[in-house]
Structure 1
Amino acid sequence: MIVSGPARRFALFVFGVMVAIGAARVTGENFIAEANAAGAFAIGQCAAYGQAYDYPAENLAKEAALKQCKGSCTAVTMKKACAAFSVDMTNPCGPHGYAVRPKISASLNEATRECYKYGGKECVIRAWVCDAKG
C-alpha cells in the first residue's frame, strides 16, 4: 500500500500528538489543573478566615478569599501550594500564625510554629487549603 505525502504527514502529526498526550500522562501533568492553579488565603482577627483555590488568576482568588473573611482581613496568595492558619485555642483573638508552603505538611507545621512564636499557648490549626498540585 502506497501512502501519499499529505496522508503521511497527517499520520505523523497524529502520532506526534498521541506521543505528547502519553508523555503528559506518564509525568502526571494535568493541563486543566495547570490553568487553574492560583489560590489565596485571607486571615483576620479572632480566627476569621476565607479561602479560595484553583482559580485562573491570583487576583480572582484573592477577591474570593477576602469576600469570605469577616472583618478586616489580609490575604496571601499561593500558586501550586498549600496555606495553613493556626490560632491559640485559649485566646482565638490573640496570637496566630500562617504559612504558605509547597506541601501541606510543611504549611501546617510552619503555621503552628508561627503561632507559638507570637505567644500562643495552645496553638491549633484553624483552617488549611491547597490549590492545584499543592
Structure 2
Amino acid sequence: MTFSDAAHRRAIFACAAIFALFGLSATPSWAAGAFAVGKCGAYGQAYDYPEEAAARAAALKQCKGECKAVTMKRACAALAVDMANPCGAHGYAVKPKISSSLNAATKKCYEFGGKECVIRAWACDAKG
C-alpha cells in the first residue's frame, strides 16, 4: 500500500499536531530549502534539507526545462502565473511568512504584464 502525497502530508501534519499538543518539537534541525522556477509554470521545490546545495539540486531536478533556483532558509517561496497565458508573465518571491510570499509573487506577476495571475505553487521551509 502506498500513500499519495496528500495522504503523506496529512499524516505528517497529524503527527506534528500531536507533538505540538504535548509540547514536543517536530521541527527538524534542518532548515535549508530551494524553489526552482521555469517557463510555462514549471517549478520544483525542496525543503528541510541539511544544506542549501542539496536543496537547490533537489528543486532543480523536479523542475522541467530551463529553470533557475532561489534558496529559502526558514522562509516561504511562492510562484504565480498568468492563467490567461501560462507561458507568459509570472512572478515569484521568497519571504519570511507564507502570506507575504503569496502576495509578493502575485504582485510581481501583475507587474510583469499578467492579466489573471494565480498562485501555481508554494513551499515553506522549517519555520517559514
Q: Does TM-score exceed 0.5, indicating one fold?
A: yes
Q: 2:78 aligns with which of 73, 81, 84?
A: 84
Partner Cα distance (2:78, 2:45) in 1: 10
Q: 1:95 aligns with which of 89, 92, 102?
A: 89
Name the structure 2 match of 1:123: 117
Partner Cα distance (1:103, 1:45) in 2: 25
Structure 1 segments unaligned to the other structure (5+ residues): 1-24
For residue 108 of structure 2, give the secondary structure of its aligned residue in structure 1.
helix
Number of residue pairs aligned between Structure 1 and Structure 2: 107
TM-score, structure 1 normalization: 0.76
Greater share of helix residues, 1 or 2? 1
Structure 2 segments unaligned to the other structure (5+ residues): 1-19
Name the structure 1 match of 2:55: 61
Q: How does 1:1-134 map to 2 (within 5 A)?
A: 30=25, 33=28, 35-134=29-128
Runs of 4+ in 1 over 2 A off after TM superposition: 28-33
1:2-47 deviations in Å (ceiling 9; x for gaps): xxxxxxxxxxxxxxxxxxxxxxx9xx895952x2100000000000
Name the structure 1 match of 2:7: none
1:37-59 deviations in Å (ceiling 9; x for gaps): 00000000000000000000000
1:87-118 deviations in Å (ceiling 9; x for gaps): 00000000000000000000000000000000
Partner Cα distance (1:124, 1:133) in 2: 24
What is the CA RMSD across the aligned residues, in angstroms?
1.7
Q: Which amino acid aligns with 2:111?
A: K
Partner Cα distance (1:119, 1:40) in 2: 26
TM-score, structure 2 normalization: 0.79
